Amino acid sequence: MKIAAQLIPLILTLSAAAADKVIGGPYVVNVGPRTATLMWVEQTGEASLGESPDKLDRKVPTLRAERVVFNGLTAGTKYYYDSFGGDAGKGSFKTPPAGPAKFEFVAFGDTRTRHDVHRRVIEGILHNANPDFVLHSGDLVADGNDNSLWPIFFDVERELLRKVAFYPALGNHDRNSKNFYDFMSAVPYYSFDWGTSHFIAINTDIGNAGRTEAEKQAFWAEQTRWLEADLMASQKADNRFLFGHHPPMTAVKSRQGDNPHVMALELLLQKYKLTAAFFGHDHNYQHYLKNGIHYYVSGGGGAPLYDVDAPPAGITQKVESTENFVMVQVDGKKVHIEARRPDGSVIDVTDLSEAPAVPR
C-alpha cells in the first residue's frame, strides 16, 4: 500500500474516430508478373496518455492496414487502380515484364527523420527519374513500433508510392515491428524478377531478429542458406541485384567493422556473380568496387548526415556526405547508374557494361 501511494497515476483513454480516415497510401507491394497487393492504411481511432485526467497530452493514432490482392494479371502491363474512392485513392503500377525489356528503378533509404529533407529527396526522384519500381533499403521510420511516425512517412512518400511498385527492406530502426510487416505485407527476406534481372532483399538487422543470441544466429543461418539457394537458382539472369540495410564496408570510420555478419556474405556474393548491391544505414553516399561487384550505400533519405572520413583504400569509387538517391536504368546486361542529390545534380555515374573502373 505504501508503494502504491507513491506511484503517479497514468491514465490511458482510447477514442474512436467519427469515421476512419486514410493516412497512408495507396501503394502497391508484392508485385509479380501475375499478382499485386494494393494497400492503404487507415486511422481507426486515437489513444491518449497523461498523468492526470485533464492532461492527456500524448496522443498516438490506432492504425489498420487494408489490402486487396489482384491475381490473373498480365506481365509487362501498366495497371490503373482506384482504392478508397476519389482522386486521392487513384494510382498506377507496372507488372514485371516476363522477358527482355528496358526498365528503370530507384534505390534509397534512411528516411526516418528530418522530414523536410525526406520530402526534398522524394521531390528529386519525382523530377529526375521515371522508375517502374523503388527499392527502399530500410529505416523507413525512426521507430517502427511508434504509430505516430507512419502517417508522416506515408504523407511524404505519397506521390511517389502511388506511381510505382514498392519493395522495402528492414532497417534497424524499423525494429522488426509488426507495423512494418502489416503495412508492407512483407516477409523478412524475399526475391523477385523484373525482366531478365533478379532482385534479392535481405534482412541485415540481426540485432532485432530474435530475443536471444541463439535465435539471432539461427535466423541468420536460415537466411544465408536461403540466399545461397536463391543466388544459385538465378544464374541465368542477366543481372543479380541485392539490397538490404547494413553495408559490408563503409567510409564512416566509427562504424568500420560493425557488420561482420554482412561482411561474411561477400564471398558468397562473389561466388554467384552478384552484379551490384544497394545498402543504407550510413547517412551519406558511398560507392565501392570490390572483386567485380559494385556496392552502393544510399542512406541519404533524410536522416542526419555522417562524415565520410575514412574511405577504404583500393576499392573506393566515390564517397560524399550528402542526401541522395540512386537511379538505375537496365537494358539486358547494360546497367547505367546515376547517384543524384535532391536538387538533381549528379554525384556519381557508373556503366556496369563497361570495363571495371579504376578505384579513385
Dump pLDDT digits (tens) for 109-156.
999 999 999 999 999 999 999 999 999 999 999 999 999 999 999 999
- Does position 360 have pLDDT exceeding 80, yes or no? no
Q: How far apart are the C-alpha atoms of 116 and 139, rounded to whole Å? A: 16
Per-residue confidence at 254, pLDDT binned at 50, 70, 90?
very high
Q: How far apart are the C-alpha atoms of 104 and 234, rounded to whole Å? A: 20
190 occurs within a structural domain:
yes
Residue 205 maps to which CATH number?
A: 3.60.21.10
> How many other CB atoms are found less than 10 A from the CB of residue 243?
26
Q: How far apart are the C-alpha atoms of 140 and 110, rounded to whole Å? A: 6
| Gyration radius (Cα) of the chain, Å | 21
63 occurs within a structural domain:
no
292 occurs within a structural domain:
yes
The answer to whether 35 touches 71, Cβ cutoff 8 Å, is yes
Identify which of 244, 295, 292 has the alpha carbon closest to the alpha carbon of residue 272: 292
The whole-number average pLDDT for the span 11-20 is: 50
CA 119-125-129 angle, 5° bins:
165
65 occurs within a structural domain:
no
Full-model pTM: 0.92
How many domains does one find in the chain? 1
Identify which of 142, 139, 149 has the alpha carbon closest to the alpha carbon of residue 61: 149
The whole-number average pLDDT for the span 302-317 is: 97
28 occurs within a structural domain:
no
Cell of residue 331, nine digits: 537494358
- Of all residues in the chain, the percent with pLDDT exceeding 70 is 93
Torsion sign, CA atoms 253, 350, 260, 203: positive
- Does position 12 have pLDDT exceeding 50, yes or no? no
Cell of residue 23, nine digits: 493516412
The per-residue pLDDT for 19 is 58
Q: Cell numbers 529527396 label which residue?
A: 121
53 occurs within a structural domain:
no
Per-residue confidence at 186, pLDDT binned at 50, 70, 90?
very high
Where is 63: in which H helix or E strand? strand 58-71
The answer to whether 324 touches 340, Cβ cutoff 8 Å, is yes
17 occurs within a structural domain:
no
Expressed as residue numbers, the domain containing 292 is: 74-351
- Does position 357 have pLDDT exceeding 60, yes or no? no
329 occurs within a structural domain:
yes
Q: pLDDT per residue over 29-58, tens digit each?
A: 999 999 999 999 999 999 999 998 888 988
Strand partners, 39: 27, 67
